[in-house]
Amino acid sequence: MNHVRNFNYQYVYVLRGTRSGKWYIGCTNNLRKRLQEHQKGLSRYTKGRGPFEIIYFEGCKNKLDGVAREKYLKTGMGRRYLKNRMKRFLFLT
């Protein structure tokens, strides 16, 4: 039995525009589908800013936790957390 499929996980993710280098933070229950939507320009906030790459994601067990985590990561402290968490990756790119 696959225990992961028993939950409706929410994924909080960070995209980076490959041309601009700008970050976009979002939350979804289907990460692959949502990335495709961003790539195709179907998202209001990222339309025309692609292509994108996922540089970070984390899973939450329910939507309420995922939305709260997304909101936190969009704050100054959250962005500082992300930069510290990915400092080796950011240094290499």
Average pLDDT (5-28) is: 90
pLDDT at site 87: 87
pLDDT in tens, 53-77: 999 999 999 999 999 999 999 999 9
Domain layout of the chain by residue ranges:
3-87
Average pLDDT (27-56) is: 94
Instruction: Look at residues 38, 44, 11 and name the one whose alpha carbon lies nearest to residue 27.
Output: 11
- Mean pLDDT over all residues of the chain? 90
pLDDT at 12 over 90: yes
**The domain made up of 3-87 is a member of CATH 3.40.1440:** yes
d(CA 32, CA 89): 22
pTM for this prediction: 0.86
pLDDT at 19 over 50: yes
**Which H or E run includes 66?**
helix 63-73
pLDDT at site 62: 93
